Amino acid sequence: MSKLILILGDQLSPAIASLRQWQPGDRVLLAEVQAEASYVGHHQHKIVLIFSAMRHFAALLQQQGMQVEYIDYRQRIGSLYEAVAMTLQHQPQLQSVVVTAAAEFRLAQDIQSWPSRLAKPVTVLDDDRFIASTELFNRWAQGRSQYRMEYFYREMRRYTGLLMNGTEPAGGKWNYDLENRKPCPADLAVPTPVAIDPDDITQAVINVVRSEFPNNIGDAGNFALAVTGKDARAAFLDFVEHQLPLFGQYQDAMVLDQPFLFHSICSMYLNIGLLDARWMCQKVEQAYQAGLVPLNAAEGYIRQLIGWREYVRGLYWLLMPDYKNRNFFDAHRALPGYYWHGNTKMRCMQQAIGHTIKYAYSHHIHRLMITGNFALLAGLSVAEVTDWYLAVYADAFEWVELPNTLGMALFADGGVLASKPYAASGNYIQRMSNYCSSCYYKVKETTSELACPFNALYWDFLARNTAKLSNNARLQLAYQQWHRKDDTQQTAIRTKAAELLIHLEQL
C-alpha cells in the first residue's frame, strides 16, 4: 500500500528516517502552515530560512524521482494535521502516514492524536540524526540527583570516539573551557561568515514573508543565509578554515559592532537538517589532527555538538511538559520593549539586541550573559523571556531553546541544568568586551545616577534570593562580598535597584 511521508520543516535531511521508508508510489508532503509559522512571532529571517529551505528540499527530492506534494503558505492551511488530512482526502490511494518524531513536545503530542482523527495508521520513527537517543539519555540520567552536562559529555566522547586516544581524552583533559575565555583584542582581524545571495526561490519567499508577516521582528530584505545542504556545508567548511582556529580562545568574547567574531553561524542549519552533527564533528576532528586548529578550539566546538546540544535535547524530553512551567525565582516582571526594538542606553544590550534584530542571531555570550543575565537580574517573566528567545533566533526550536533559556540563563529550574545562576555585574561585561567604554552608563559605579544598571541589580538579585541561593557552594564568595558591605551601602544598593526596576523601560 502506498503511504504519505510527512517531512517537517526542521527535518530537511535526505537521510531522515522517514525518507528511508520511501518506495515508488509513495508521496512526500511538505507544508508551510499557519500554526507553525505563528505560534510565536518568529523573526522574519527564521521564516524565510525554513520556508525557502523547505522549497529547495522539495525540489531536491523531486530531482531524485520522488513525488512531492507541496503546500505553500498562501494556500492558508491552518495546521499540519489539516495538511495531512487534505492530502489523504485528495489521494485516496495513500493508506498510511509515516513521519519522523517531532522535535518539539507540543507537535509530538498533537501527532499522537492523528491515528484516531485520520482513521489511518500513523508510524512515528525515531529521529536518529541525534547521536544520543532519548532512551540512551534516560539510561544515563536514571538514578542521578543532578544532571550535569560535563559527565554526559564524557560518556558521549567515549561513545563516539571523538578526540580520544584509546580510553583517554586527547591532550589528557576532557574539557578546555578554562582556555576559552579570553577577551578579544578590538583590532584583531575577524573573518566574515559566508553570505548567500537569495536565488529566485528565496526571493519569492522573502516577498511572501514581507507581505504576510510585516510586523514580525527583523527585515527579510537583508536575508543572506544558506538554504540548501550544499551551501550550508560550504559555509561550515569556511568556518573550519577561517574562524575555528581562534574560536577556542575567543568564544566568550564580545567586540563592538562584531556580531559573529569566531562563531560558526551554523546552528540554524544544523537544527533544520541542512547539516549533520556527526559530519561536522568529523571535519573539526580532522582539522585538529591535521594541525590546522588547536585542541582547545576543536574540543570546545565538539563539546557544543555532542555535549551540550545532545544534553539539552535529552533533558527536554526527560522533563517535559512540567519543565516549561518552572519558575524558581517567581519571576513575573514584564519584558521591556527594548527587547523588541533595541532602543536602550545600555550599550551591551544595544549590541546583543541589535544583532538579533538584524540577523536573527547573536552568539551564546550575548544570549547568556547580556540579554539572559539582565532578564535574570531584573526578574523578568520566565514565560515572556522564553517566548522571546524562541521567536527572535533563527536556530531556536523549543527542544534546544527552552533548557538553554529557562534552565541556564534564568535558573528557573532551580539548578536542574546549571550548578549556579549565571548572574554577573557590569564587571564581567567590561572584562569580556569593549562595550563599556562607549556606554552611557558608568561600569565602575553602582548607586550613582549614571551607574551601570547591572551592578545594583546584581547585588539586589543576590540579596532578595538569599534564602534560595546562600547555600550554593559556587556563590559563597559573592555572598561574602555582599555581607562585607555595611547597612548603609546595602540599603543604597537596594534602593538604587528598586528605582531601576520601577523605570525599567527607560534604561
CATH number at residue 100: 3.40.50.620
Q: How far apart are CA 183 and CA 94, in angstroms?
A: 58
If asked whether residues 265 and 145 sit together in one domain, one would say yes
If asked whether residues 376 and 476 sit together in one domain, one would say yes
Q: Which residues pair with 27 in a beta bridge?
A: 4, 67
Any idea which residue has 505563528 for its cell? Answer: 38
Q: How far is CA 61 from the centre of its chain?
A: 28
Percent of the chain with pLDDT over 70: 100
Of 170-184, 298-312, 442-456, the poorest mean pLDDT is in 170-184
pLDDT band, very low/low/confident/very high, at 181 (cuts 50, 70, 90): confident
Would you say residue 247 has pLDDT above 90?
Answer: no
Question: Mind listing the pLDDT tens digit for each residue in 11-39?
Answer: 999 999 999 999 999 999 999 999 999 99
If asked whether residues 365 and 449 sit together in one domain, one would say yes
Domain of 183, CATH number, reads: 1.25.40.80
If asked whether residues 261 and 304 sit together in one domain, one would say yes
Q: How many CB atoms lie within 10 A of CB 188?
A: 14
Whether 489 is covered by a domain: the verdict is yes
Average pLDDT over every residue of 422-434: 94
If asked whether residues 275 and 349 sit together in one domain, one would say no
Which strand (E) or helix (H) includes residue 27?
Answer: strand 27-31
If asked whether residues 356 and 473 sit together in one domain, one would say yes
Cα dihedral: 296, 299, 301, 305 (round 10): -160
pLDDT band, very low/low/confident/very high, at 340 (cuts 50, 70, 90): very high
Q: Which residues pair with 71 in a beta bridge?
A: 31
Q: Which amino acid is at 275?
A: L
If asked whether residues 109 and 158 sit together in one domain, one would say no
Q: Give the residue from 276, 312, 290, 203 showing the smallest Cα distance to 244.
A: 290
If asked whether residues 491 and 376 sit together in one domain, one would say yes
Whether 74 is covered by a domain: the verdict is yes
Whether 117 is covered by a domain: the verdict is yes
Would you say residue 176 has pLDDT above 90?
Answer: no
**Structural domain for 502, as ranges:** 338-506
pLDDT in the model for residue 248? 81
Q: How far apart are CA 156 and CA 154, in angstroms?
A: 5
Largest CA distance in the chain: 79
Q: What is the pTM of this model?
A: 0.94
Would you say residue 341 has pLDDT above 90?
Answer: yes
Q: How far apart are CA 3 and CA 21, in angstroms?
A: 9
Of 34-43, 144-153, 215-224, the poorest mean pLDDT is in 144-153
Whether 237 is covered by a domain: the verdict is no
pLDDT in the model for residue 184? 78
Which 3 state secondary structure label does DSSP give 164? strand
Whether 399 is covered by a domain: the verdict is yes
pLDDT in the model for residue 144? 85
Would you say residue 177 has pLDDT above 80?
Answer: no
Question: Mind listing the pLDDT tens digit for each residue in 432-487?
Answer: 899 999 999 999 999 999 999 999 999 999 999 999 999 999 999 999 999 999 99
123 near 96, Cβ under 8 Å? yes
Mean pLDDT of all residues in the chain? 94
pLDDT in the model for residue 251? 87
Whether 222 is covered by a domain: the verdict is no
pLDDT in the model for residue 6? 98
pLDDT in the model for residue 175? 86
Q: Which residues pair with 169 in a beta bridge?
A: 164
pLDDT in the model for residue 189? 84
Average pLDDT over every residue of 232-253: 92
Q: How far apart are CA 380 and CA 415, in angstroms?
A: 18
Question: Mind listing the pLDDT tens digit for each residue in 54-99?
Answer: 999 999 999 999 999 999 999 999 999 999 999 999 999 999 999 9
Which strand (E) or helix (H) includes residue 30?
Answer: strand 27-31
If asked whether residues 277 and 404 sit together in one domain, one would say no
Domain of 345, CATH number, reads: 1.10.579.10
Last residue of a domain, one of 288, 319, 350: 319
Of 25-34, 84-93, 256-265, 498-507, the poorest mean pLDDT is in 256-265
Q: How many CB atoms lie within 10 A of CB 445?
A: 15
pLDDT in the model for residue 182? 77
If asked whether residues 16 and 165 sit together in one domain, one would say no
On the question of a cis peptide bond just before residue 321, with omega within 30 degrees of 0, the verdict is yes
90-119 CB burial, b ≥16 within 10 A, e <16: eeeebebbbbbbbbbbebbebbeebeeebe
Q: How far apart are CA 55 and CA 320, in angstroms?
A: 32
The residue ranking higher by pLDDT, 178 or 201, is 201
Question: Mind listing the pLDDT tens digit for each residue in 105-139?
Answer: 999 999 999 999 999 999 999 999 999 999 999 99
If asked whether residues 180 and 311 sit together in one domain, one would say yes
Average pLDDT over every residue of 339-366: 96
Last residue of a domain, one of 72, 99, 125: 125
pLDDT in the model for residue 192? 87
Of 110-119, 174-183, 376-385, 495-504, the poorest mean pLDDT is in 174-183
Please tell me what DSSP assigns to residue 335: P
Count: domains in the chain: 3
pLDDT in the model for residue 20? 95
Q: Compute the residue count for the chain.
A: 507
Whether 209 is covered by a domain: the verdict is no
Whether 236 is covered by a domain: the verdict is no
pLDDT in the model for residue 262? 85
* Full 3-state SS string of 420-435: CCCCCCHHHHHHHCCC
Would you say residue 179 has pLDDT above 90?
Answer: no
Cα dihedral: 309, 313, 319, 322 (round 10): 100
pLDDT band, very low/low/confident/very high, at 148 (cuts 50, 70, 90): confident
Last residue of a domain, one of 101, 125, 149: 125
Percent of the chain with pLDDT over 90: 89
Q: How many CB atoms lie within 10 A of CB 163?
A: 21
The residue ranking higher by pLDDT, 149 or 405, is 405
If asked whether residues 376 and 253 sit together in one domain, one would say no
Would you say residue 252 has pLDDT above 90?
Answer: no
C-alpha cell of residue 236? 561550515
